[in-house]
Amino acid sequence: MAVREQKSSMALFRPGWWGGRILGTLLALQSSLVGGVFAAEFQGAAPLEAPAAAAPVAAAPGVDALQRALKSLRLPEGSASLWVLDLDRDEVLTAEAAERPRPPASLVKLLPMGAALLSLGPAFRWHTEAWAEGPLRDGVLQGDLLLWGEGDPFFNDEALYRFVSALRDAGVSRIEGALRVDGTALSPTARPRDAFDGQGDRLYNLPAHALLPNFTAATVALRPGAGAVEAQVSPVLPSLRIENRLKLVPGPCRGYQRGVAINVLGPARDALRLEGTFPEGCQRYALTRSVLTPERYLGDRFRVLFEALGGEWEGALAPGTLAAEARAEADAFDGLPPRAREQTPEPAARLLRQPSPPLDEIVWRLGKYSNNVMTTQLLLTLGRAYGGEGSEGAGWEVLREIYGAEGVDLGDAVLTHPAGLAREDRLRPAQLGAVLRLLWRSPRMPEFLHALPIAGVDGTLRSRFEDTPVAAQAHLKTGTLAGVSNVAGYLRTRQGRRLAVVLMLAAEGVERGLGPSLQEAVLQALWAD
């Protein structure tokens, strides 16, 4: 089913036309993911015509500023690539080393974001379900309760509260059996949590999971007490032990992490050790880490919330797998048209089916704050929806096909980590530029643009470019690793021209001040040109 062209008005960019028709048929997906075979396929797509190449000029826009900045910052010649497209005329203005593969870092997140919007659509939702494995009589479930999820990227504590509250509203007041967790809908790649930077407890290193509650986050709030440091953990997690070895010392509140060392211990990740010193001058300081396993975290929060809402559960936590027959019955029901669903009995054993926020909201949260695990959940979902399994391998294959059907060739790109935490990954700036062009010309442009941080205004760019002419004039995504400093997105110039820009830099030490300084110099020059 072809995606029809739509028009939209924007606060920053107000295109008065959609440059030509959107060629080719995009993927479509039913209103919810279903297990087994997914009824979707790529249909014959006529690829978008390549943008017109700029005529050779002495100094393409931004190149002079790029070369001056490289020299001024004493960065190696050839360490940067620049690609600039005039979106109104659909003309490449600058292609400086734009075919040289470079590490994309977090710029790679733009690929799953765009592919999901193009294929799944902005209204797509994930679902989390509760199944009764035993009779429910007079509010008592005489058996196990099984929880099944398909990878809601934003199953936070508020969503979990709504889930438990809805279960109570469904008449469940006591569970006599176990709480069983089925996370088989996705098959994430197993990576050592410390492999990237040795900080496996940080949320940005969190692995994906089909039932990922609240990003398994625990926030420790520290305060000076009567001769000791008080530590309070939120949310309440009964399985988590706190080893508070902090010493309260005189002095003002300053220093990296205020002198606090915090570590998650044990294979079950069920102990938090606090060590070091904490200055008396600090009134409150908070640190957040990923704790427990997703299953254990889910069990803890379920028990606390269920009992707080008047429910009773004294059973154990156990792994589980939803029966294939039950899944097939539910999938058949969910696939019915709305009117037919109203006239068809819902699977009796399914007690609850809770939707996630829509995809456009998920992409907005992901893009504005560059969330790693949400990006991975998105790629796994593409694999599950169209590739037959919720794995990264299937997701990357589907993603390449989505863009390939629209004339964007990612064939030689090296893509191994959905969030860009792989220094060996490579992407050509011109390839990323082609993705930006495609999304700008697609019906999904408003949602994609809305998800990019606004320079000097919000998201990861709230404190960047705020004192420059670029502030509030650009929607940009940054990508940073050791030795890598990238930026890509859309810029409105002083004359009102709209540009797509990709700037990628790779050299020792550029992730700190050098890279951001280069970005400011080039983007200001493009704005003023």
- CATH code for position 130: 3.50.80.20
48 within some domain: no
Question: Of 298, 333, 357, which one is at a domain's C-terminal end?
Answer: 357
Q: What is the mean pLDDT of residues 329-349?
A: 94
- Strands 229-234 and 312-313, by their bridges, are unpaired
pLDDT at residue 255, rounded to an integer: 82
3-state SS record for 133-168: ECCEECCEECCEEEEEECCCCCCCHHHHHHHHHHHH
Both 139 and 225 in a single domain? yes
Prediction pTM value: 0.88
What mean pLDDT is reported for the chain? 90
- Through-space distance between the first and last CA atoms of the chain, rounded to whole angstroms: 42
Would 42 be classed as within a structural domain? no
Residue 260 belongs to what domain range?
A: 126-357
In a domain, 276, yes or no: yes
- The CATH number of residue 488's host domain is 3.40.710.10
Number of folded domains that form the chain: 2
Which has more pLDDT, 7 or 508? 508
In 3D, which of 478, 457, 481 has the Cα closest to residue 520?
478
As a whole number of angstroms, the distance between CA 288 and CA 268 comes to 18
Give yes or no for a contact between 231 and 242, defined as CB atoms under 8 angstroms apart: yes
Q: What is the pLDDT of residues 42-58, one digit of tens each?
A: 333 345 677 766 544 44
Q: What is the pLDDT of residue 254?
A: 85
Whether residues 310 and 221 fall in one domain: yes
Residue 100 within a domain: yes
Q: How do residues 165-176 score in pLDDT, each as one tens digit?
A: 999 999 999 999
For residue 143, being part of any structural domain is answered with: yes
Whether residue 38 is predicted with pLDDT greater than 90 in this model: the reply is no
Q: Which of 35-39, 99-103, 474-478 has the lowest mean pLDDT?
A: 35-39
pLDDT in tens, 104-147: 999 999 999 999 999 999 999 999 999 999 999 999 999 999 99
Last residue of a domain, one of 331, 357, 383: 357
Which of 325, 357, 389 marks a domain boundary? Answer: 357
pLDDT tens figures, 394-445: 999 999 999 999 999 999 999 999 999 999 999 999 999 999 999 999 999 9
CA dihedral 182, 183, 184, 190 (to 10 degrees): -150
pLDDT digits (tens, 9 = 90+) for 135-180: 999 999 999 999 999 999 999 999 999 999 999 999 999 999 999 9
What is the pLDDT, as a whole number, of residue 48? 66
